[in-house]
A and B are shown apart, each in its own frame.
Chain A
């Protein structure tokens, strides 16, 4: 089994009630089929703080690391035997949250 990060890409706005309901259905299906590992929504990029603790006193910077029109508003971590299964889950996930998703493999051992 491999794990994949499925990031939800967004240009604005949080999920509507209908979208949230569809996401809940998708999540239940993921759990029932044994693909579920983890999923969360994220607060807006404006609430982020960049922290650099590499050298002495940590430096805090207000705002996101990357300023962009598109950003990640949530993610799933899913488990699948191979990419064809992960792609299907990503397609269903994208449909449920009504946004594009980026699928990226998590490094195994």
Chain B
């Protein structure tokens, strides 16, 4: 990559959402905003290597995209012989003002609850993340045309149903922020534990994108504890990424990871966020509690130093916020470290998670520790049949094959 290419790639990363967001507000049309932003970047790719990078690349791109939009609208207006609309658009863009609010509007629009979850994820990656349609299609292993249609349909609904380009009503805000965080966490998790067996098990591109988007949302909503909690959770999870899959492509359990390979910088940042939330004295939401659990794990230099009673206490707190069977399953894993596998197994058995591979993997491990090899083997078989991630399957197969006896 040449110097200018690198600058363009960086500016794309940093400025795409701002350019789309500003245009969307001023044009009142997300579709045109996206198209003109893409054209402005294409123009930059042509001209910056020759003319040099402008002193304020973001403003240059916004202005270029806006002029293209005005030109296009004028042409359309002339065609339709309607002059009124064109007169309302001026050539000179307003000074860059409430741009951050524009990006926040963009995030809320893309994550609107009237859109299907799949559409929210795709739109957020396209409009806010600046990923291309082929990139998003590849990320979710969907045909490019199908992904294109998904995004087009979502944009058509936004327009026809008048999904507002704005920040939600105050009363709706907590639920809407939760909705945004759900989208970001789904993107992260798809990267962290790719659900498709045809893919590499951990997708650094998606986790990095999810973290980048969450950082942006955090910059836009700095006072929201759950946004901070989700960012901390992602950072503390991402910090362990290098240690999580072995050279042989096998998932490495938390207790067996090479903790020297963990990213100390990400851990330090995640811990600082968790500490700041604790210091706030406000009751934490589920992402903050999950982040705190991950902070306890990443605090231990050796798995034997893990403060399991703290982990269980945090899971108790989480169960109160979210009494779902999956949370109780994870709590039981921590309980096993304090009260032993027998107690944990009693808590796991009976959870309505028959179709969930981690339920069977957890039972298999507890049964193994209790020396009940035959039952453990059967549970591993169930887990392997249900697991979709290649690294996880490899790990489960090895554990099963290491079981003693018939």
Contact = CB atoms under 8 A, between A and B. Distances in A.
B172 interface: yes
Interface in B135-167: 160-164, 166
A2 B169 CA distance: 18
B169 A84 contact: yes
Contact of A105 (B162, B164, B168, B172): B162
B114 A82 contact: no
A105 B161 contact: yes
Interface string A70-109: 0000000000011110111000000000000001110100
Contacts of B162: 2, 81-83, 86, 105
A66 B160 CA distance: 26
Contacts of B172: 84
Nearest to A107: B160
Contacts, number: 30
Nearest to B113: A87
B157 to A, nearest CB: 9
B164 A82 contact: yes
A88 B161 CA distance: 14
A83 B169 contact: no
B164 A87 contact: no
B131 to A, nearest CB: 26
A83 B161 CA distance: 6
A27 B176 CA distance: 28
A51 B18 CA distance: 53
A103 B113 CA distance: 13
A84 B172 CA distance: 9
A103 B163 CA distance: 12
B164 A84 contact: yes
Interface in A28-74: none
Interface string A1-31: 0101000000000000000000000000000
A57 to B, nearest CB: 37
A79 to B, nearest CB: 11
A97 to B, nearest CB: 20
Contacts of B169: 84, 88
A95 B141 CA distance: 40
Contact of B114 (A81, A87, A88, A107): A87
A84 B170 CA distance: 12
Contacts of A88: 169
A103 B114 CA distance: 10
A8 B230 CA distance: 39
A109 B161 CA distance: 13
A84 B168 contact: yes
Contacts of A104: 161
Contacts of A107: 160
A107 B162 CA distance: 11
A107 B168 CA distance: 24
Contacts of B160: 105, 107
14 contacts: A81-B162, A81-B164, A82-B163, A82-B166, A83-B163, A83-B164, A84-B164, A84-B172, A86-B161, A86-B162, A103-B161, A104-B161, A105-B162, A107-B160
Interface of A: 2, 4, 81-84, 86-88, 103-105, 107
Given A83-B114, A84-B164, A103-B161, 13 more contacts: A2-B162, A81-B164, A82-B162, A83-B112, A83-B161, A83-B162, A84-B163, A84-B168, A84-B169, A86-B162, A105-B161, A105-B162, A107-B160
Give 6 nearest A-B pairs by CB, closest first.
Answer: A82-B164, A82-B162, A105-B161, A83-B163, A2-B162, A83-B161
